[in-house]
Structure 1
Amino acid sequence: MNRILFKKNVGWDSLKEKVEAFCIKHSIPLPNYDEPYANLGRSRRKVVDYTTLHHYRVNVFYKIVDWQLQELNDHFNEVTSDLLNGVACLNPIDTYSSFDIQKILVMAKLYPDDFDEFNMRVLENQLVNYIIDVLKFALLLPIATASVQRAFSAMKYIKNDLQNRMVDEFLDGCMVPYVEKRVFKNISNECIIETFQGKKHR
């Protein structure tokens, strides 16, 4: 219930901002939300006990949302709702913020031929590991993408028309110091010379 109310509030705030922007753009006077609501269809002498903000948010916006939810509930039975809720949990938007293992398990129970009691326990463990791995991947992907872009950028300078026949091993040896300049900047020439001198002769 709290989650539904939170989504309503988010929807109300965005709608209110759009309406206010529209009114300002077309020079339409904005109502004073703190004033008592005046119903034009009733006597002006009758004072209401709620504000204009309460009227538009609760009596209009919330009521329409509730009607829409009721319409959806009337069109979809419990099984269909469980299926839709389970599928919605796999939405990757906002780093899988809608991911809910219990709802996915409820969806899996709709397919008893594929998920017996043992497979349900296996699925639950897999889902726990899945969301952990996905979140780790989401955190690492921007870094990995940036590293790949730097590597391709470096390749254009190192393997040019004059040096296009170098073997992969030599190319790797050239690209790593070029890409990781900050690391190799702290390594002295003497240290590099000593390292190569310490290697066995080929």
Structure 2
Amino acid sequence: MSAPYKKRMRSCEKDITNEHYYRFDILNAVIDFQVEELDTRFTDSSKEILTLGASFDPRHNFRAFKSEDVCKLALKYYPSDFSSNDMRALDLECGFFVADIQKDPRFENTTSVSDLCRRMVEFDKSWLYPMIYRLICLLLTLPVSTATTERAFSSMNIIKNKLRNKMNDEFLDDLMVLYIERTFAGTINNDDVIAEFELSGTRRVKFS
């Protein structure tokens, strides 16, 4: 890697080594491209909520835990889930949480937030730190809500196309639910749907 870099079997115009070429001209360029792509894909609020949520990263003995980030996460992104009393309780819990968990040998080798949540329930820490446990549970729903939102937008583009752009919102919602959960919808028997529809009220025409 310390040899002079040659471009197409001829010496490069720049006096650089192979290491310099592959590290700066290739690797760093790819990293810059990926960072730029991520910046355009995720909003500032999405990046901030992930940054604040990283406080619960249990690796390196909870070195990333910050009480101010935990309180900011609850106050800014989950205001309907935490009252003013809950916020005061959360602030108090943060003062004891890390010191308690770090001394507990049962939490050694915890590798993820989901693993932390499971162990808190298993070792009765969820009732001792109810506000922190609630916030962790809310964080764990992020991948589900994000995936559901992406599927919803994808479904909307398929269902409400140029030929069907005048349907009302209620009908669109019903169709999107059926399309998003099409695996489950495929297990429903059409005869059962027709029978339940007939029982819901009188009809001009009988379906069966």
Larger Rg over CA atoms: 1
Q: TM-score normalised to the size of structure 1?
A: 0.43
Higher relative contact order (CA 8 A, sep 6+): 2
